[in-house]
Structure 1
Amino acid sequence: MKIYTKTGDLGQTKIVGGKILPKNNIRIKAYGGIDELNSWVGYTRSLTNKTTNELDKELEEVQQLLFDCGKDLATLDRGEQNKFIFNPDSISWLEQSIDSKSQQLPAISKFILPAGSQLASALQVARTITRRVERDVVELKQKEKINPKVLIFINRLSDYFFINARYANYLLKSKETFYRNSKNVFK
């Protein structure tokens, strides 16, 4: 099986449905960012161990959902012809995970530095990649119609990675460091 098509040799790529777009198109940038994030999540999973195994299972599900998001962003909205596949119930799943872990963590009122264990640090990188992806998805949404649930999921996903970074530090008994000039920002 050949994995190259040579379409990209001219700076173009095909999206779902066969439309050809330049590789610097915001649609390509948005789902390319999701692909990058998905790869980073895969790397992050490699940092889990017996203590944090529950995170590995959840992160695998996140990877599956990111593929769904990428597929939907690579699909032009043409009604029934190309239905979106992202399941909006996944947003509730993320929120339940965030809420469940938040209840187990010590409350914080100030910003924390993105650090601690290697796993927590990787989750913080995932959070910042997610925020960049979110900016690209917002830009795409301003120009073209997209599955609106993808943007909601991506927005919630950065919160998910933040909480899981804290949760990883909690499980691994790694200290959180507060930003020294932080005011009370969390209530």
Structure 2
Amino acid sequence: MKIYTKTGDRGETGLFGGQRVPKDDARVEAYGDVDELNSVLGIAVSKLQAAGETALADALRAVQSDLFTVGANLATPAPEDGGRPSSFIPGLPEGRVEELEAWIDAAEGELAPLQNFVLPGGTGAASYLHLARTVCRRAERRVVSLARQAHVGAEWITYLNRLSDLLFTLARLANRRAGVEDVPWVSGQR
């Protein structure tokens, strides 16, 4: 199968279920940002792997799989929105958000309590985790916007919200394990 189909040459794309929509449709924007998040996470995973943080890298690969699930569901309009139900589109496994919360709690157990805002950065892995957090927040905003005009499961918003918290915490953890201090934000500093 060829990678190019030429079906999008006029600015439209196909959703799961066959509907064609403009490439700047709110649904496409939402799952596109989730896809971008997945790509940024791929870089963070490679940086973690290179730093010897294989357990964190492996766990984030599971998150990457979750993000494919989120994207597939966002790309599939609900029957109320003219879509067709599909047995091929999985949901997230039960308890996935609680797993993210447990992971956050465990990571926070290794960290000093947060006393102030920190500047994004530090190690390469931490920097990419911070970037992933910001892309995750944008994806969450896009899904919230989509949910105002279409039927979107609340679980996708919850998952992305919790994931951004996890990514922030893991960025701090990556710095701590590498012996790199988080840089506190100081108002008005030059």
TM-score (norm 2): 0.91
**Alignment length (residue pairs):** 182
Residue 112 of structure 1: CA displacement?
0.6
- Partner secondary structure for residue 148 of structure 2: helix
The unaligned stretches of length 5 or more in structure 1 are: 183-187
- Partner secondary structure for residue 46 of structure 1: helix
Corresponding residue of 2:52: 51
Is 2:45 the partner of 1:40? no
1:50 & 1:156 partners in 2: Cα distance? Answer: 25
- Partner secondary structure for residue 13 of structure 1: strand
Residues 71-109 of structure 1: CA distance to partner in whole angstroms, max 9, x if unpaired?
Answer: 000011128823552224211111110111111111122
Corresponding residue of 1:144: 150
When structure 1 is superposed on structure 2, of 49-58 and 29-38 the one drifting more is: 49-58
Identity of aligned residues (%): 37
Corresponding residue of 1:86: 91
Residue 50 of structure 1: CA displacement?
5.3
The unaligned stretches of length 5 or more in structure 2 are: none
- Kept in 2, the 8 Å contact 1:51–1:172? The answer is no
1:168 & 1:179 partners in 2: Cα distance? Answer: 19
Give the CA RMSD over aligned residues: 1.6
Is 2:179 the partner of 1:160? no
| Structure 1 letter corresponding to 2:176 | Y
Residue 43 of structure 1: CA displacement?
1.1
- Partner secondary structure for residue 61 of structure 1: helix
Corresponding residue of 1:16: 16
- Partner secondary structure for residue 117 of structure 2: coil
Which residues of 2 match residues 102-141 of structure 1 at below 5 A? 102-141=108-147
- Kept in 2, the 8 Å contact 1:37–1:126? The answer is yes
Is 2:102 the partner of 1:96? yes
